[in-house]
Protein backbone atom coordinates (compact mmCIF):
# COMPACT_ATOMS: atom_id res chain seq x y z
CA UNK A 1 0.00 0.00 0.00
CA UNK A 2 1.26 3.48 -0.90
CA UNK A 3 0.91 6.02 1.91
CA UNK A 4 0.60 9.81 1.66
CA UNK A 5 1.81 11.60 4.80
CA UNK A 6 1.28 15.38 4.64
CA UNK A 7 3.79 17.35 6.68
CA UNK A 8 2.23 19.96 8.93
CA UNK A 9 5.44 21.98 8.68
CA UNK A 10 3.81 23.70 5.70
CA UNK A 11 0.37 24.05 7.27
CA UNK A 12 -1.20 27.25 8.61
CA UNK A 13 -0.83 26.85 12.38
CA UNK A 14 -3.61 29.37 13.02
CA UNK A 15 -6.03 26.74 11.67
CA UNK A 16 -3.99 23.57 12.16
CA UNK A 17 -6.85 21.37 13.33
CA UNK A 18 -9.01 22.38 10.37
CA UNK A 19 -6.18 21.82 7.91
CA UNK A 20 -5.46 18.36 9.31
CA UNK A 21 -9.12 17.42 8.95
CA UNK A 22 -9.08 18.61 5.34
CA UNK A 23 -6.10 16.43 4.37
CA UNK A 24 -7.61 13.41 6.11
CA UNK A 25 -11.01 13.97 4.49
CA UNK A 26 -9.26 14.20 1.11
CA UNK A 27 -7.71 10.77 1.63
CA UNK A 28 -4.29 11.26 3.26
CA UNK A 29 -3.18 8.30 5.36
CA UNK A 30 -0.72 9.64 7.97
CA UNK A 31 0.27 12.99 9.46
CA UNK A 32 3.98 13.78 9.40
CA UNK A 33 5.47 15.92 12.18
CA UNK A 34 8.87 17.51 11.54
CA UNK A 35 10.61 18.20 14.84
CA UNK A 36 13.59 20.57 14.56
CA UNK A 37 15.75 21.95 17.34
CA UNK A 38 17.71 24.74 15.64
CA UNK A 39 20.93 22.79 16.29
CA UNK A 40 20.93 19.61 14.22
CA UNK A 41 19.18 21.61 11.50
CA UNK A 42 19.00 25.40 11.04
CA UNK A 43 15.34 25.73 11.97
CA UNK A 44 13.15 25.47 15.06
CA UNK A 45 9.64 24.02 14.93
CA UNK A 46 7.61 22.43 17.74
CA UNK A 47 7.66 19.75 20.41
CA UNK A 48 5.55 17.09 22.13
CA UNK A 49 2.77 19.53 23.07
CA UNK A 50 1.85 20.11 19.42
CA UNK A 51 2.12 16.39 18.64
CA UNK A 52 -0.31 15.74 21.50
CA UNK A 53 -2.71 18.33 20.09
CA UNK A 54 -2.51 16.76 16.63
CA UNK A 55 -3.15 13.35 18.17
CA UNK A 56 -6.34 14.64 19.76
CA UNK A 57 -7.79 15.79 16.45
CA UNK A 58 -7.18 12.69 14.32
CA UNK A 59 -7.06 8.90 14.52
CA UNK A 60 -4.56 8.37 11.69
CA UNK A 61 -0.96 7.36 12.49
CA UNK A 62 1.39 10.14 13.55
CA UNK A 63 4.79 9.97 11.90
CA UNK A 64 7.28 11.91 14.03
CA UNK A 65 10.64 12.79 12.47
CA UNK A 66 13.21 13.94 15.03
CA UNK A 67 15.76 16.28 13.45
CA UNK A 68 17.32 17.03 16.82
CA UNK A 69 20.54 16.47 18.71
CA UNK A 70 20.60 13.82 21.44
CA UNK A 71 17.01 12.64 20.90
CA UNK A 72 17.01 9.80 23.44
CA UNK A 73 15.91 11.81 26.53
CA UNK A 74 12.82 13.25 24.82
CA UNK A 75 11.72 10.22 22.79
CA UNK A 76 9.47 8.87 25.60
CA UNK A 77 7.61 12.18 25.75
CA UNK A 78 6.87 12.10 22.02
CA UNK A 79 5.57 8.54 22.28
CA UNK A 80 3.40 9.48 25.26
CA UNK A 81 2.08 12.38 23.16
CA UNK A 82 0.82 9.95 20.52
CA UNK A 83 3.65 9.25 18.07
CA UNK A 84 3.09 5.97 16.23
CA UNK A 85 6.37 6.14 14.30
CA UNK A 86 9.48 7.81 15.71
CA UNK A 87 12.37 8.37 13.32
CA UNK A 88 15.86 9.44 14.37
CA UNK A 89 18.86 10.43 12.24
CA UNK A 90 21.76 8.05 11.64
CA UNK A 91 24.06 11.08 11.52
CA UNK A 92 23.22 12.02 15.11
CA UNK A 93 22.57 8.87 17.15
CA UNK A 94 25.70 7.06 18.29
CA UNK A 95 24.17 3.95 19.86
CA UNK A 96 21.57 3.44 17.15
CA UNK A 97 20.50 -0.10 18.05
CA UNK A 98 19.89 0.98 21.65
CA UNK A 99 17.73 3.92 20.54
CA UNK A 100 15.76 1.85 18.04
CA UNK A 101 15.16 -0.82 20.70
CA UNK A 102 13.97 1.81 23.18
CA UNK A 103 11.45 3.21 20.70
CA UNK A 104 10.00 -0.24 20.10
CA UNK A 105 9.93 -1.11 23.81
CA UNK A 106 7.99 2.09 24.50
CA UNK A 107 5.29 1.04 22.04
CA UNK A 108 6.13 2.98 18.87
CA UNK A 109 7.63 1.84 15.57
CA UNK A 110 11.24 2.90 15.05
CA UNK A 111 12.55 4.61 11.95
CA UNK A 112 15.97 5.70 10.76
CA UNK A 113 16.59 8.75 8.56
CA UNK A 114 19.54 9.54 6.31
CA UNK A 115 20.47 12.88 4.78
CA UNK A 116 21.18 13.28 1.04
CA UNK A 117 24.97 12.93 1.46
CA UNK A 118 24.77 9.95 3.84
CA UNK A 119 25.50 6.60 2.13
CA UNK A 120 23.31 3.56 2.67
CA UNK A 121 26.25 1.63 4.14
CA UNK A 122 25.86 3.77 7.26
CA UNK A 123 22.55 2.07 8.10
CA UNK A 124 22.77 -1.42 6.60
CA UNK A 125 23.37 -3.11 9.97
CA UNK A 126 20.27 -1.55 11.54
CA UNK A 127 17.86 -2.40 8.70
CA UNK A 128 16.63 -5.69 10.27
CA UNK A 129 15.51 -3.78 13.37
CA UNK A 130 13.56 -0.82 11.97
CA UNK A 131 10.02 -0.36 10.69
CA UNK A 132 10.81 2.58 8.43
CA UNK A 133 13.75 4.10 6.56
CA UNK A 134 13.39 7.77 5.69
CA UNK A 135 15.42 8.97 2.72
CA UNK A 136 15.83 12.74 2.81
CA UNK A 137 15.63 14.07 -0.74
CA UNK A 138 16.47 17.63 0.35
CA UNK A 139 18.83 18.89 3.03
CA UNK A 140 16.66 18.95 6.16
CA UNK A 141 15.56 22.14 7.82
CA UNK A 142 13.06 23.92 5.61
CA UNK A 143 10.03 23.09 3.48
CA UNK A 144 9.62 23.92 -0.20
CA UNK A 145 13.10 22.91 -1.32
CA UNK A 146 14.04 21.46 -4.70
CA UNK A 147 14.16 17.68 -4.99
CA UNK A 148 17.68 16.15 -5.16
CA UNK A 149 17.38 13.70 -8.05
CA UNK A 150 20.17 11.36 -6.89
CA UNK A 151 17.79 10.30 -4.11
CA UNK A 152 16.02 8.08 -6.66
CA UNK A 153 19.07 5.85 -7.00
CA UNK A 154 19.38 5.62 -3.22
CA UNK A 155 15.73 4.55 -2.93
CA UNK A 156 16.19 1.93 -5.64
CA UNK A 157 19.26 0.47 -3.91
CA UNK A 158 17.46 0.47 -0.57
CA UNK A 159 14.52 -1.34 -2.15
CA UNK A 160 16.91 -3.92 -3.61
CA UNK A 161 18.40 -4.53 -0.15
CA UNK A 162 14.92 -4.93 1.30
CA UNK A 163 13.93 -7.51 -1.29
CA UNK A 164 17.23 -9.40 -1.14
CA UNK A 165 17.11 -9.85 2.64
CA UNK A 166 13.31 -10.01 2.99
CA UNK A 167 13.22 -7.01 5.33
CA UNK A 168 9.80 -5.54 6.14
CA UNK A 169 10.56 -1.85 6.69
CA UNK A 170 8.73 0.88 4.79
CA UNK A 171 10.71 3.24 2.55
CA UNK A 172 9.73 6.86 3.12
CA UNK A 173 10.88 9.96 1.24
CA UNK A 174 10.76 13.55 2.45
CA UNK A 175 11.65 16.63 0.40
CA UNK A 176 10.45 17.95 -2.92
CA UNK A 177 7.59 15.45 -3.16
CA UNK A 178 5.03 16.85 -5.56
CA UNK A 179 2.97 15.90 -8.61
CA UNK A 180 6.10 16.01 -10.78
CA UNK A 181 8.26 13.69 -8.64
CA UNK A 182 5.83 11.33 -6.92
CA UNK A 183 5.53 8.90 -9.86
CA UNK A 184 9.30 8.45 -10.12
CA UNK A 185 9.55 7.95 -6.37
CA UNK A 186 6.81 5.33 -6.39
CA UNK A 187 8.44 3.45 -9.25
CA UNK A 188 11.79 3.49 -7.41
CA UNK A 189 10.22 1.64 -4.48
CA UNK A 190 8.99 4.33 -2.12
CA UNK A 191 6.05 3.42 0.14
CA UNK A 192 5.47 6.59 2.19
CA UNK A 193 5.45 10.06 0.61
CA UNK A 194 5.89 13.12 2.82
CA UNK A 195 4.50 16.20 1.09
CA UNK A 196 4.31 19.65 2.64
CA UNK A 197 4.03 22.64 0.35
CA UNK A 198 2.58 20.46 -2.42
CA UNK A 199 -0.41 19.80 -0.14
CA UNK A 200 -0.89 23.06 1.74
CA UNK A 201 0.04 25.66 -0.89
CA UNK A 202 -3.46 25.98 -2.34
CA UNK A 203 -6.71 24.02 -2.33
CA UNK A 204 -5.86 21.21 0.09
CA UNK A 205 -8.52 18.79 -1.16
CA UNK A 206 -7.49 19.15 -4.80
CA UNK A 207 -3.76 18.95 -3.98
CA UNK A 208 -4.19 15.71 -2.03
CA UNK A 209 -6.35 14.17 -4.75
CA UNK A 210 -3.75 14.93 -7.44
CA UNK A 211 -0.96 13.35 -5.41
CA UNK A 212 -3.04 10.30 -4.54
CA UNK A 213 -4.02 9.73 -8.16
CA UNK A 214 -0.42 9.92 -9.38
CA UNK A 215 0.79 7.73 -6.52
CA UNK A 216 -1.79 5.01 -7.15
CA UNK A 217 -1.34 4.97 -10.91
CA UNK A 218 2.43 4.54 -10.82
Which positions are annotated as active-site residues? 34, 174
- The Cα-based distances of 134 to 125, 131, 147, 173 in angstroms read 15, 10, 15, 6
Amino acid sequence: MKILAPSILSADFLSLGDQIQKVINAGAHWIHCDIMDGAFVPNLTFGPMVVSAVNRCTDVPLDVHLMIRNPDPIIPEFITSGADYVTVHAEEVIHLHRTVSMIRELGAKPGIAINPATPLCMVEEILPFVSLVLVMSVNPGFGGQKFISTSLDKIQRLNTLRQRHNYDFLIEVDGGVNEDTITQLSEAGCDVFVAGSAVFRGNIHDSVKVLLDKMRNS
